[in-house]
């Protein structure tokens, strides 16, 4: 009996090593989601693409609101006390834009590879 258990355990270990050594098809995100929730691949791909597109649209909409707001704030306060911190506000916003651009590139890659 113990011999059968060892043999079955050994076979499972060999199968796990072989499957780990093979290149996975599709994107990592899609494979992990499919494994976690057990959905069909098409549904997972569609959901990943939809979420990535949604993130890109949210970034664009938020920036379309923030940039005019910052421009108006700069125009009306550049010669008063709040204007003294404007370079830091713009530098912080540009830093946020850099991280958003990196995220958008990642989302575009997800859309393309999914």
Distance from C-alpha of 48 to C-alpha of 109, rounded to nearest angstrom: 11
pTM, entire model: 0.55
Distance from C-alpha of 28 to C-alpha of 35, rounded to nearest angstrom: 11
- Write down the residue that tokens 């540009």 correspond to: 94
pLDDT score recorded for residue 2: 62
Give the residue extent of every domain in the chain: 26-113
pLDDT in tens, 27-85: 666 677 667 777 677 777 788 788 888 988 999 999 999 999 999 988 888 888 777 88
Distance from C-alpha of 56 to C-alpha of 88, rounded to nearest angstrom: 26
């Amino acid at each position: 009996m113990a011999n059968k258990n060892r043999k079955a355990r050994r076979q499972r270990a060999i199968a796990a090593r072989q499957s780990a050594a093979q290149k996975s098809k599709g994107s990592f995100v899609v494979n992990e989601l499919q494994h976690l929730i057990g959905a069909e691949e098409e549904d997972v791909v569609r959901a990943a693409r939809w979420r990535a597109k949604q993130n890109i649209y949210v970034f664009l909409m938020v920036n379309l609101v923030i940039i005019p707001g910052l421009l108006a704030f700069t125009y009306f306060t550049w010669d008063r006390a709040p204007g003294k911190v404007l370079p830091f506000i713009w530098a912080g916003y540009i830093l946020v834009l850099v991280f958003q651009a990196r995220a958008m590139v990642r989302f575009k890659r997800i859309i393309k590879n999914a």
